[in-house]
Amino acid sequence: MRVVLMVCAAVPALGAQVADGALGPDGPIEVPACDAAAASELTRRARRALPSPGEAAGLLVEAHTACPERGELLLEAAKILARSHEFDRSLLLADEFLRSVSASVPGMLAVADIQLRAQRFEEASKTASEVILRDPANATALKLHGNATYFLGRSAEAEAIFLRLLDKYPADAEAAYMLGRIYYQENRLTHAAAQFQKVLRLEPRNYKAYDNLALCHEALGEPEAAIRHFLAAIQIVENDHPDYDWPYANLASLLLDQGDAQRAYEAAGAAARRNPRSARNFYLGGKALAHLGRNEDARKWLERSSLLDPSYSEPVYLLIRVYQRLGAEASAAAAAERFRKLKASEPDERR
């Protein structure tokens, strides 16, 4: 991160740049020359191995400093930082890019995407709306605006945006997927399933659609269909998407409801290996181990879950019983008191 901070501090405000020969208060303003060779070398180093998000972004900003006319390098750096959740720095660079190119549509869309990732939903909606005013049929802007609107709690408005988008672009799988998610959250399960099935017709290897279609079948009381679609998602992500854990965890949850603790533990274990930062994955694994009577192992998994997310009440509740089984009455009493406080402070619905 040190490289990025130092380089960003050295970058002149692009919004202040003017045409060659313009006059400032003390005479002609000198516009920095473009060292194309240096910019190309720095860009090549940034893209070659992407040594780290911060280092790659820093090299791209250095490249822009060498050749200020290449404003797109700032946008590339902003996108890299956003992918590593460095949203504040990312937005600073994206805003600098917009000033350098007079608020281009690609730049505005990139900023809206970063704002959405950073959960700055009002700003994302506003930025996407500005693009829509210029280009009412811009599919990317409509999707960003629809997503931001949904996360702001205006689901009916978001639904209308995605329906409008699909009316114009019926083969847009991403729009159908998002509409399906809205329907699922509203418990309109058959409508949701229809959208996820549409996505799969358009993109047969869309593992997220398989996963969400399985959730629909599970909620509809169709566990066999749900398991089949969870397994279809797992088959796709097994090698191609090694960090994606959701279908494993969702399958583990369903198998626990079905009373198959051994297979549930195996699925939860795979989820935890893929995403060791997920409190839910460790909770599901701990719950399966508790059902299997492996209480000491269950304790470790549940304590890990609680450590990853101290506000998560479910592993704490199950720890009370596990501690009691292990004869650790003091720990059980402490867990019970902690559970009481968590339940008193948590929202009615955990999303």
The model's pLDDT over 202-257, given as tens digits with 9 standing for 90+, comes to: 999 999 999 999 999 999 999 999 999 999 999 999 999 999 999 999 999 999 99
Q: What is the pLDDT of residues 30-75, one digit of tens each?
A: 445 788 888 788 878 878 856 688 888 888 888 888 888 888 888 8
Whole-model pTM over 0.75: yes
Q: Which CATH class name applies to 245-351?
A: mainly alpha
Task: Give the closest residue to 254 by CA, choosing from 228, 274, 273.
Answer: 228
Contact 200, 213 (CB under 8 A): yes
Q: Out of 1.10.510.10, 1.25.40.10, 3.10.50.40, 3.50.50.60, which CATH number does the structure's domain 1-9+34-118 have?
A: 1.25.40.10
Main-chain phi, psi angles of 85, to 5 degrees? 65, 25
| Contacts with 117 (C-beta within 8 Å, 6 or more apart), sequence order | 82, 85, 87
pLDDT at 154: 95
- What's the token pair of residue 300? 């470790």
Considering the chain, what is the average pLDDT of its residues? Answer: 87
| Contacts with 4 (C-beta within 8 Å, 6 or more apart), sequence order | 54, 57, 58, 61, 81, 89
pLDDT at 75: 85
pLDDT tier at 174, thresholds 50, 70, 90: very high
| Contacts with 10 (C-beta within 8 Å, 6 or more apart), sequence order | 65
Q: Could you state, in order of their start, the residue ranges of all structural domains in the chain?
A: 1-9+34-118, 245-351
In CATH terms, are 1-9+34-118 and 245-351 the same topology? yes
Q: What is the pLDDT of residues 91-112, one digit of tens each?
A: 888 888 877 776 678 888 988 9
Percent of the chain scoring above 90 in pLDDT: 66
